[in-house]
């Protein structure tokens, strides 16, 4: 192993500080006394439960739609597959508020799809469904990228052997391909869950901020920031705790393999 040039350590340390020091800053501001009361207030509990519910639903939606997308991108060969791969990543680079606007002009009452839904008596915008859609919109690329990478690493040799042993394509998918990419799928799902949990811009734009319906934890934090900074900090701590659990869970899984 070659040794690193010594100067590399300096920017690396600055980078680490950029991530860690603000967390310390937040922790220093936490009103440890009365923390329980703030976190268990009705508004906070509503926001937390809504966040967990919507992020779970969004993760399920990402898995159900994202795994087939990753399969098509990794295994199918057709014209435009490269363009499609690039387009799938758009939500990753798009400002979430722009994504929220796009969703609004699609599923809103006057939107592209919303107009037809309105006729059927279904309103998506400013509902809990809208929260889930906004979260799935921003989280989907994380899952697709993760599963597609796992598929590329796994290669197709196991699938070829399975086919010569008499397994139909569906059997190959369920008994060989998916088990092989399960670690990638799990970490992709955890990332999608974390991204959904932290979603703010698209949710606010597309779903609004209605307590118990669309006001998720990040929205609650932003709201409390004006009225009750202590409560905002306490709730932020809750989000940090969830993030840490998520990171440890994925890292631990990888280390165990």
Partner 1 sequence: MSGPVSGPVSGPVSGPVSGGLVAHLELRARGLDVDLALAPGEVVAVLGPNGAGKSTLLALLAGLLRPDTGRVELDGEVLVDTATGAFVPAHRRATALLAQEPLLFPHLSAAANAAFGPRSRGARRRQAHAEALAQLAAVGAGDLADRRPAQLSGGQAQRVAVARALAARPRLLLLDEPMAALDAASAPALRQLLRRVLREDRRSAVLVTHDVLDALVLADRVLVLDGGRVVEEGPARGVLARPRSAFAARVAGIDLVSGTATQDGLVTTDGVRVTGRRDPDCPVGSPAVAVFRPSAVAVHREPPTGSPRNVLPVVIAALEPVGELVRVRAQDAADGSPGLFADVTAAAAADLHLEPGLAVHLAVKATEVAVHAAAGA
| Residue (149 or 208) nearer to partner 1, CB | 149
Instruction: Mark out the alpha helices in 108-127 (DSSP H runs).
Output: 114-119
Q: What is the C-alpha to C-alpha distance for residues 60 and 242, in angstroms, rounded to an integer?
A: 18
Q: Contacting partner 1 (CB under 8 A), which of 25, 164, 226, 256?
A: 164
Q: Which helix (H) or strand (E) holds 215?
A: none
Say if CB 244 and CB 222 are below 8 A apart: no
CB 76 within 8 A of CB 241: no
Please pick, from the candidates 87, 122, 160, 244, the single residue that binds partner 1 as defined by CB under 8 A.
160
Task: Single out the residue of 20, 89, 122, 161 in contact with partner 1 (rule: CB under 8 A).
Answer: 161
Q: Is 98 in the site for partner 1 (CB under 8 A)?
A: no
Q: Where are the alpha helices (DSSP H) in 169-216?
A: 169-172, 178-198, 201-207
CA atoms within 13 A on the CB side of 172: 15
* Triad 245, 14, 139: Cα angle to 5°: 40
b/e 10-45 (16+ beta carbons within 10 angstroms → b): eeeeeeeeeeeeeeeeeeeeeeeeebeebeebebbe
Nearer to partner 1, 172 or 202 (CB): 172
Please report whether residue 167 would count as binding partner 1 according to CB under 8 A: yes
Per CB under 8 A, the segment of 30-38, 43-51, 138-146, 176-184 that binds partner 1 is 176-184
Number of residues that bind partner 1 (CB under 8 A): 19
Sign of the CA dihedral with 60 first, then 64, 70, and 75 last? positive
Q: Does 60 bind partner 1 (CB under 8 A)?
A: no
152 contributes a contact to partner 1 by CB under 8 A: no
* Piece of the chain touching partner 1 by CB under 8 A; list 11-19, 171-179, 237-245, 246-254: 171-179
**Which of the ranges 61-69, 84-92, 116-124, 161-169 carries the binding residues for partner 1, by CB under 8 A?**
161-169
Binding mask 178-197 for partner 1 (x = CB under 8 A): -xx-x---------------
Query: Which range binds partner 1 by CB under 8 A, 122-130, 170-178, 206-214, 219-227?
Result: 170-178
> Segment 24-43, which members bind partner 1 (CB under 8 A)?
none
Give me the residues that bind partner 1 (CB under 8 A), please: 157-158, 160-169, 171-172, 175-176, 179-180, 182
């Amino acid at each position: 192993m070659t040794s690193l040039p010594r100067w590399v350590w300096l920017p690396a340390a600055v980078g680490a500080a950029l991530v860690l020091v603000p967390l310390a800053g937040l922790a220093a501001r936490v009103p440890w006394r009365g923390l329980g009361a703030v976190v268990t207030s009705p508004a906070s509990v509503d926001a937390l439960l809504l966040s967990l519910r919507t992020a779970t639903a969004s993760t399920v939606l990402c898995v159900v739609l994202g795994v087939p997308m990753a399969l098509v991108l990794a295994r199918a060969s057709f014209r435009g597959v490269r363009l499609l791969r690039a387009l799938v990543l758009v939500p990753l680079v798009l400002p979430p508020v722009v994504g929220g606007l796009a969703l609004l002009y699609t599923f809103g009452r006057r939107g592209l799809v919303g107009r037809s839904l309105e006729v059927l008596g279904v309103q998506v915008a400013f509902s809990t469904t809208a929260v889930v859609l906004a979260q799935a919109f921003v989280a989907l690329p994380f899952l697709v990228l993760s599963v597609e990478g796992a598929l590329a690493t796994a290669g197709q040799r196991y699938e070829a052997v399975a086919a010569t042993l008499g397994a139909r394509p569906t059997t190959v998918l369920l008994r060989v391909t998916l088990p092989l990419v399960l670690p990638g799928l799990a970490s992709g799902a955890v990332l999608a869950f974390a991204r959904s949990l932290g979603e703010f811009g698209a949710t606010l734009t597309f779903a609004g901020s209605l307590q118990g319906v669309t006001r998720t934890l990040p929205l609650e934090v932003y709201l409390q920031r004006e009225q009750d900074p202590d409560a905002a900090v306490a709730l932020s701590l809750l989000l940090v705790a969830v993030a840490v659990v998520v990171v440890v869970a994925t890292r631990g899984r990888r280390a165990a393999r």
